[in-house]
Amino acid sequence: MSSHLQITHLRKRFGGLVAVKDVSFDVADGEVVGLLGPNGSGKTTVLNMISGALLPTAGEITLRGVRISRLRPDRIARHGVARTFQLVRPLPSLTVAENVLVSLAFGRFKHWGPDARDLAEEKLAFVGLGGRGGENVANLTYIDQKRMELARALASEPALLLLDEWLAGLTPSELQIGIDLVRRLQGAGMSVLLVEHIMDAVRALCARCVVMNAGEIIAHGPTETVLKDPGVVAAYLGDGHA
């Protein structure tokens, strides 16, 4: 598989704190890669640099051979990067469909009118919310809010999807729904970088993982091998369990 996202010697400093230190990895076309690590390890900072919320102190990020590491977030989105957040961020005064329409109107290809409404319904149907576009976002259950957020991200027609603990807080049955949705994305050829703490989901979705601790990569490779690495076990559970 060819490289889709390439991160090279990425670094982020906040004053005297180096939050990300010389991080390098890639995501291939159609691949779901897990970006793992304990809280404070630098995972979300990496996602923030990929999406443009933060500028790297050093290093390069390229998407399909195009350097995006110094672009504004809106320019990065137009190059095909979309993300979700651990805490769902709906536009509460809008309906479910209107939340998705906003992404279509201001996304990569700027859809309007009947075309946009049809595409919004298509994205909602894909995530399991078909026919529910007229509902108020505030009336959705938690899993349905997650589904709507995913539909909104997909409405920007991304080439790369960043999922930041998108599966957090779900019940076991809801978790399976979420896993199945990500599998469908992969089946459709979507490249996904998945930040996640739920190891059952990581094992189900990611053939390969990158594990960070204290801003550095401590393991990188096949998921089962990485999760058994003594350094990874120590990072999550402490040296006494390694």
pLDDT of residue 91: 87
* Residue 83 contacts residue 150 (beta carbons within 8 Å): no
Residue 44 contacts by C-beta under 8 Å, 6 or more apart in sequence?
164, 195
Query: What is 1-80+159-169+193-242's CATH number?
Result: 3.40.50.300
Instruction: State the helix-helix crossing angle for 142-155 and 113-126, rounded to 10 degrees.
Output: 130
Distance CA 142, CA 165 (A): 14
Residue bearing tokens 């505030």: 138
How much of the chain exceeds pLDDT 90, in percent?
Answer: 81
Is residue 106 very low, low, confident or very high in pLDDT (cuts 50, 70, 90)? confident
Average the pLDDT over 139-153 and give the result.
Answer: 93
Would you say residue 122 has pLDDT above 60? yes
Instruction: Pinpoint the residues of the chain covered by CATH 3.40.50.300.
Output: 1-80+159-169+193-242
Are the C-beta atoms of residues 195 and 165 closer than 8 Å to each other?
A: yes
Other CB atoms within 10 A of residue 234 CB: 15
State yes or no: pLDDT of 134 exceeds 90: yes
Q: What pTM was computed for the model?
A: 0.91
Confidence grade of residue 2 (pLDDT, cut at 50, 70, 90) = low
Express each pLDDT in 40-76 by its tens digit: 999 999 999 999 999 999 999 999 999 999 999 999 9
Q: How far is CA 229 from CA 59, 90, 158, 234, 241, in A?
A: 27, 38, 33, 9, 11
